[in-house]
Amino acid sequence: MNSHWIGGVAVAGSGETIDVVNPATEEVVARVPAGTAADVDQAVAAATAAFPRWAATGVAERAAIVRRVSEGLRDRSEEIAATITAEMGAPISLSRFAQAAFPVRVAASVAAIAEDFPWTEEIGHSLVVREPVGVVGAITPWNFPLQQVVSKLAPALVAGNTMVLKPSEIAPLTAGILAEIAADAGLPAGVFNVVHGTGPVVGEAISAHPGIDMVSFTGSTRAGRRISAVAAETVKRVALELGGKSANVILDDADLARAVPHGVAIAFANGGQVCGGWPRMLVPAARHDEIVEMVVAAAAEYTVGDPADEATRVGPLASEAHRRRVDGYIERGVADGATLAFGGPGRPAGFDSGAYARPTVFADVDPASVIAQEEIFGPVLTIIPYADDDQAVEIANSTVYGLTGAVFGSEERALGVARRMRTGQVDINGAEWNPLAPFGGYKQSGNGREFGRQGIDEFLETKSIQR
């Protein structure tokens, strides 16, 4: 379904359309309507009308519907994986493992949490009640196009909210699949609405709309600033999950055979198009050259290829415009004197078309340089030497971002470094992702949290009733 989804039915829109382009082949694979402010008005009206009944629906029933959504996503996982590979270029193996599978886990975990969530609490002679915010406007990115939607929709639904979603115009197609799955799961008409379109039109309309009580946004810090400014006119709540420039701190007692390949894998995952990736590898200065050799050997395993091929580890970037942007950063790193250890600017050999970039490694990088400070959002890893643990922490905290991070080393020492990092999430020695743990940023990586109990809290108001 490539139409808007408003009030439980497909809506064609005004007639203007947006091409969805396969970044590997440069072919148009679909078209979606270019939404307008009037389309947003219609969706908000539907969400507003559906809100009272949905908010009054019991938590157990809301959670059961979210659980059925999880099951529906699982049942259509192969279709979802193929769709995401076609629209934004994620290798099919990654699309199956993460793009299609993670939303299944998130929705199921939220449904489970809802059953034991403290919806009410007695504090002295007061009854504290947690109630839905109202109509939520969600604006989501292209890098994990379904995961980012489900991470907002599942907790918003169990909390009793209704939603108007603007998916990325670059990768919008799984939003339609999700709308169908939600309807099949028994979600009432108007509770979940999808309006396709661009940020300057549909995103602005959602952010400014007086009928929307909250905006939840994932995307760039620049766009997050704009949404905050527009939303401030109606004093609505804004939750932001923004950019990152996370540091992977490898201590001098780390198991390098484990730490280095894992760090490269996270840096190059999804073509480096992961806000919570680790694009900065901080290494002991005395072991810099040794680690660079290991990184280059690991990077050589990340072959670029057709994302539909099971063997491909790095597909194209999501669009040609983004490829040019990433290439510009690689050229800037070279111009600024960083040591190019692997890769470099331009498309890989054998690729004359498509949004393909070369996985690239810079060594001996100045922590104050552009490539070490700004979010590149591509397969570019910067290796930065440090003298001791204190300097490693200082460098890790030296950007405007604070989304994720990592530490490899002996457990107690790594935990000590992790506690000092000004970032919302830190993995020690390659710990597995936990969908029950909160995720979100410090500083200009945003505010608010997703996943776990804190993720449900984001979509609730708190009322005190004195008796």
Give the separation between CA 223 and CA 203, rounded to whole angstroms: 10
Catalytic machinery residues: 241
**Do the Cβ atoms of 283 and 385 come closer than 8 Å?**
yes
Give the separation between CA 48 and CA 205, rounded to whole angstroms: 16
With CA atoms as reference, report the closest residue to 368 among 343, 336, 393: 336
**Do the Cβ atoms of 449 and 155 come closer than 8 Å?**
no
How would you classify the pairing of strands 380-386 and 360-363? parallel
Give the separation between CA 256 and CA 152, rounded to whole angstroms: 37
With CA atoms as reference, report the closest residue to 139 among 94, 204, 77, 87: 204
Buried (b) or exposed (e) across 294-309, using 16+ Cβ within 10 A? bbbebbeebebbbbbe
**Do the Cβ atoms of 24 and 15 come closer than 8 Å?**
no
Give the separation between CA 218 and CA 139, rounded to whole angstroms: 7
Q: Which residue has the tokens 């510009």?
A: 328
DSSP labels, 176-228: HHHHHHHHHTTPPTTSEEE----IIIIIHHHHH-TT--EEEEES-HHHHHHHH
SS3 call for 318: coil
Cα dihedral 323, 329, 334, 336, rounded to 10, equals: 170
**Do the Cβ atoms of 371 and 382 come closer than 8 Å?**
yes
